[in-house]
Amino acid sequence: MQYAPLGRTGLLVSQLCLGTMNFGPHATEAQSFAVMDKALELGVNFFDTADVYGWKKGEGVTEQIIGKWFAQGGRRREQVILATKVYGEMGNAKFDRGLSAVHIRRAAEESLRRLQTDHIDLYQMHHVERTTPWDEIWQAMELLVAQGKVLYVGSSNFAAWDIATANQVASRRHFLGLVSEQSKYSLACRHIELEVLPCCRHYGVGVIPWSPLDGGLLGGVLGGAKEGRRAAEGMQKRIAAIRPQLEKWEALCAELGEKPADVALAWMLANPVITSPIIGPRTMEQLTGAMRSLEIKLPAETLQRIDAIWPGPGGEAPKAYAW
């Protein structure tokens, strides 16, 4: 396993992050335990979850599974950099969602209880909420840090100007501010290259891409999957719409002698702004298979060929669209 600093911090995290969204809905508790044990064995020390995962309002199903895994002992908690999120609707009251100080405080306490731990290493705002003042948000986060319940704060699904605003206000308050941003990013979805990636580079914010295989689209879909997400009607429509592009992609990967999923992750890891793409394995095979991406080094010529198949927005703003 290879490790990289989380943004501008001194914390080293594995260059692949274990996403746990499938724990509960698509993987049983026993399967989830086995995947987490194997992840540690492989050197993956960065686990990502959220209070809403499990998709049963207010229950935090996935956090509960992780908490039970920690409770088995064996220094499991001590070996993991644990990231979870706040924002989603967790109850029926008006204040049971969002980023008010009330919700942040209550959500953090509930996540700690479900996760059976005394602290969250990386507490991420799952979405921006522009109706709550940044001074209120940072005051709530500062209190959690002062209490030792949170160590670092991150964001997810933020626009570049939200990241900049958040860190400018944090700087004014003499607070560390955002150290990471979790954005949707893949070869098939490169919008964040315009402004989010340059902003993160400028502020020393590590980028943790979610859906790096775009829901499996980049993982070799032309073989005709009969079950799972690749077999879903929506995915089949996407495949039909861009089949020529996918054929070129999978042909290039075959020429390289590598699996498409591994090449897609290797392409992402070649960008120094990227800290740790999130992989969300449902099975042990998916977890172990992803390790190959860390060994693939793509030469400049191959990166150019990939860009020709999956063109981005043309670079960073404003040069991508102005002189």
Residue 323 CA neighbour count, 13 Å, CB half: 0
CATH code assigned at 165: 3.20.20.100
For tokens 């602290």, name the residue.
Answer: 119
Predicted local confidence at residue 236, as pLDDT: 86
Q: What is the largest CA-CA distance in the chain?
A: 59
What is the domain count for the chain? 1
Beta strands at 12-14 and 3-5: parallel, antiparallel or unpaired: antiparallel
For residue 57, is it within any domain? yes
Beta bridge partners of 274: 207
Question: What rounded mean pLDDT belongs to the chain?
Answer: 95
User: Is residue 24 a contact partner of residue 36, using CB atoms and an 8 Å limit?
Assistant: no
- 161-177 per-position pLDDT tens digit: 999 999 999 999 999 99
Tell me which residue of 67, 72, 76, 61 sits closest to 26, measured CA to CA. Answer: 61
Predicted local distance difference test score (pLDDT) of residue 73: 95
Task: Tell whether 237 is covered by a domain.
Answer: no
What Å distances lie between residue 156 and 52, 94, 299, CA to CA? 14, 22, 31
Q: What type of residue sits at position 71? A: A
- φ, ψ for residue 123 (rounded to 5)? -105, 115
The identity of residue 152, as a single letter, is: Y
pLDDT tens track for 209-257: 999 999 999 999 997 655 556 667 778 899 999 999 999 999 999 999 9
What was the pLDDT predicted at 225?
56
| Residues catalogued as catalytic | 53
The length of the chain is 323
Q: How far is CA 141 from CA 116, 132, 179, in A?
A: 20, 13, 13
H or E stretch covering 169 = helix 160-172
Band (pLDDT 50/70/90 cuts) for residue 13 is very high
> What integer pLDDT is reported at residue 235 of this predicted model?
84
Tell me if 118 sits within 8 A of 148, measured CB to CB: yes
**Cα–Cα distance for residue pair 265/287, rounded to 1 Å:** 13
Taking only the tens place, the pLDDT of each residue in 43-87 is 999 999 999 999 999 899 999 999 999 999 999 999 999 999 999
Residue 323 included in any domain: no
Decide if 243 is inside a domain.
no
Instruction: Work out the percent of the chain whose per-residue pLDDT is above 70.
Output: 98
Instruction: Please give the pLDDT value at position 249.
Output: 97
In a domain, 123, yes or no: yes
Identify the DSSP state of 27. Answer: B
Q: Averaged over 130-135, what is the pLDDT? A: 96
Range of the domain at 90: 3-220+260-299
269-300: pLDDT as tens digits: 999 999 999 999 888 898 999 999 999 999 99
Q: Residue 198 in contact with residue 316, Cβ under 8 Å? A: yes
Q: CA 234, CA 49: separation in Å to the nearest integer?
A: 25
Residue 230 maps to a domain: no
Radius of gyration of the chain (CA): 20
Residue with tokens 């775009």: 214
Residue 241 belongs to a domain: no
Residue pLDDT, tens place only, 174-212: 999 999 999 999 999 999 999 999 999 999 999 999 999
User: Side-chain half-sphere of 241: how many Cα atoms within 13 Å?
Assistant: 8
CA distance 286 to 46: 17
Closest CA to 23 of 68, 71, 74, 81: 68
Is there a domain that residue 191 lies in? yes
Average pLDDT over residues 139-159: 98
